[in-house]
Amino acid sequence: MSTSYSMHRTVTTTSTSQGYGSASHAAEEFVAAAEREKQEMQQLNSRLEAYISRVRQLEDRNKELVIELDSLRGSLGNDIGQIKFKFNDSLVKVRRDISEAHAGTIGVEVKVNRLRDDLNDYRHRYEEARREVEREKTTWGGAISQAQAELDTNKSRYAAILDEEKRLYAEQDQLYLQLAAAKDELDAAIADRLRLQAEEDDLKIELEFLGRIHAQEITELRALLAQAPADTREFFKNELALAIREIKAEYDKIIQTTKVDLETIFQTKIAAVEASVASKNEAATFRQEEIRKMNESITSLRAKLSELEARNAALEREANTLQIQLGEDQRAYESELAKRDSALRFMREDCQTLIAELQALLNTKQTLDTEIAIYRKLVESEEGRFNHIGQGVVVQQQEVQRHQGGSSSIVMSDQRHSESHHHHQQHQDVYPQGTLRYSQQHEANIGRGTTVFIPDKRVGTYEQDTYDSGEVQTRSTFKRHAKGNVSIVECDPTGKYIILENTSGNIAEDVSHFEIRRVIDKTPSFTFHLPAHSVIHPHGHLKIYGRNTGGIHSPPDSIVMESYPSWGQGTVVETYLYNSHGIEKASHIQTTSASSR
């Protein structure tokens, strides 16, 4: 029976800088990868079921053969040798089937380990996606707060501009009121000047009128004097002359007094009017200068107001645009947040489903491991019975041939086991100082303990052989090389850790920024850079764990590689150590092969 396993490992990397769309795309890829893994596990389960069915058929067939062999031994007696040759092909076929079934079991275990690594990787990617969502929430919240602060600043600036505009309008109204008051005062001064001029004209007219009246009275008196008789004229001549002189003197006095008074009043009025007009002209000039300055200030303020109104309109448009954009961004953010929450819920549900399926697979694997161990013990017991029966048949055949004089040589079924034990003893004799290592992890994965003989810790080639139920041999060949005191002393077959050793007894080796390059099945896997201040003490070790292998970060004895879940595993695993200048310092090559005995 030939069973082939096709193993595909899909690793999807998600860039956190692609935003919300990359998260949904990563979730879809995660679901697709989980579906593929589920189908592969179903195929493996069906193949394992076929394998178990085949083992049970072989067990039933083995029981039938034992019964048939017992019956043949009882009936044929000395013909057992011929019966062995008759059923030798069937035994070889059965052993081949057991070997193929064991190889299939190894493939299933490797597949389970890889699925476990993939699940840990998916968990790590889910946590990274969740942290990215939190970071993007914080970023969007900061952007919204900044936009809100800018909007509040623009609103405060707009309110300040409105207050400045109101203040300028109030100042303009006050200036207009002051200008109207100045105009009223100027009009009052002009009215006073016109009134005084009218009074002056009236006084001049009155003076002329009085002069005419006095002249008429004089004329009348002269006429009367001319009409009077001579004696009367002579009688009253002196009296009349005296009266005329008195009247003329009084008239002149009145005229002079009136003239002086009028001139004084006129001069006083004129001086007052001129002083008032001068002061009012000066005030008017000052007010005109102030009005001119105010007009210039009003013009500049109007220009500034126009500019501020244009800026205010632009700020209002920008504020409206920002408000609209903020609303759109808020809606887009809420939509993307809802999508991300939905994707996260889906991923959580899918992750819980995968964890439940993985737990079921682990339980099934434990059950299968138990059944395989039981079947292995049954096969070993049956093999022991076959070996015991074969030894009896060989002894009987030797006795028959000795009686018949034959000289043929018989190879017993357990001869290879004796040779293997003898070869094992030779290894112990050749390398009495070799280091014995017992790998519990390899026993859990393959089914048997592993004994490793290492003549030299730094340079050399050594092998380890593992036998499963006496039929399948798994051989691992290790090649190591080192230039200097630092060497790769051990690489875990399942990819959990790598151990570096300093063979010097008195020098501490600084391995800062050294590179460990991993090549699995002739394909470069990745490169790990040792962190700064990494020092290996004399005769000390540095154990480097994968991220998901359960290691403890405790420098300088052990560190955890955060960039990769594990070191990986495969048939041919090559590990190289380079210093900070790119020079190879050590290497470790592991080759694993399985063959039938």
pLDDT digits (tens, 9 = 90+) for 501-558: 999 888 899 999 899 999 998 888 889 999 988 899 998 999 999 988 888 888 888 9
Burial 46-73 (b: 16+ CB within 10 A, else e): ebbeebeebbeebeeebeebeeebeebb
Q: What is the mean pLDDT of residues 250-257?
A: 80
For residues 476-500, give the mean pLDDT. 89
The span from the CA of 568 to the CA of 570, in Å, is: 7
pLDDT score recorded for residue 12: 38
Determine the Cα–Cα distance for residues 27 and 40; give it in Å rounded to an integer: 20
pLDDT for the residue 587? 94
Provide DSSP, 133-159.
Answer: HHHHHHHHHHHHHHHHHHHHHHHHHHH
Query: With bands split at pLDDT 50, 70 and 90, how would you rate the model's confidence at 159?
Result: confident
Arithmetic mean of pLDDT over the chain = 74
Q: Indicate the pairing of strand 558-560 with strand 541-545.
A: parallel
| Residue 519 β-bridge partners | 524, 574
Cβ pair 97, 1 in contact under 8 A: yes
Higher-confidence residue: 421 or 520?
520
Q: Domain 415-596: which topology?
A: Immunoglobulin-like (2.60.40)
Helix (H) / strand (E) containing 364: helix 230-404
- The two three-digit tokens of residue 397, written as one number: 């055949």
Reported as a single tens digit per residue, the pLDDT across 571-589 is 889 999 999 888 999 999 9
Q: Where in the chain is the domain with CATH 2.60.40.1260?
A: 415-596
Cα gap 501→233, rounded to integer Å: 174
pLDDT in tens, 90-144: 777 877 777 777 777 777 777 777 777 877 787 788 788 888 888 888 888 888 8
Q: Taking the CA of residue 566 as centre, how many other CA atoms within 13 Å lie in the half-sphere pointing to its CB?
A: 22
Long-range contacts made by residues 247-252, C-beta under 8 angstroms, separation at least 24? 251/214
| Distance from the first to the final alpha carbon of the chain | 17
pLDDT tens readout for residues 198-235: 888 888 888 888 888 878 888 887 777 676 555 565 66
Of 87, 60, 93, the residue nearest 73 (C-alpha): 87
pLDDT band at 427 (very low <50, low <70, confident <90, very high): very low
| Distance in angstroms (rounded) separating the CA atoms of residues 509 and 64 | 65
| Cβ contacts of 494 within 8 Å, gap of 6 or more | 113, 441, 445, 566, 569
Per-residue CA distances from 86 to 98, 182, 195, 392, 397 (Å): 20, 144, 163, 16, 14
Position 3 scores a pLDDT of: 37
What residues contact 476, with CB distance under 8 A and at least 6 apart?
450, 463, 464, 466, 493, 590, 591, 592, 593
Distance CA 503, CA 487 (A): 8
Q: How far apart are CA 30 and CA 13, in angstroms?
A: 10
**Residue entry with tokens 């990769």:** 564
| The pLDDT of residue 362 | 79
- Answer for the pair 583, 562: CB distance below 8 angstroms, yes or no: no
Instruction: Let me know: does 488 contact 499? Beta carbons within 8 Å.
Output: yes
Q: What is the mean pLDDT of residues 379-390?
A: 67
**How far is CA 415 from each of CA 213, 371, 464, 466, 535, rounded to the nearest angstrom?**
185, 29, 21, 18, 52
Which long-range CB contacts under 8 A does 27-32 form with residues at least 24 apart? 27/129, 27/343, 27/346, 27/347, 30/122, 30/125, 30/126, 30/347, 30/350, 31/346, 31/350
Three-class SS of residue 387? helix
Calpha distance 483→577 (Å, rounded) = 10
Q: Which amino acid, residue 443?
A: E
- One DSSP character per residue, 407-438 reads ------TTHHHHHHHHHHHHHHHH-TTPEEEE
User: Which pLDDT does position 339 carry in this prediction?
Assistant: 84
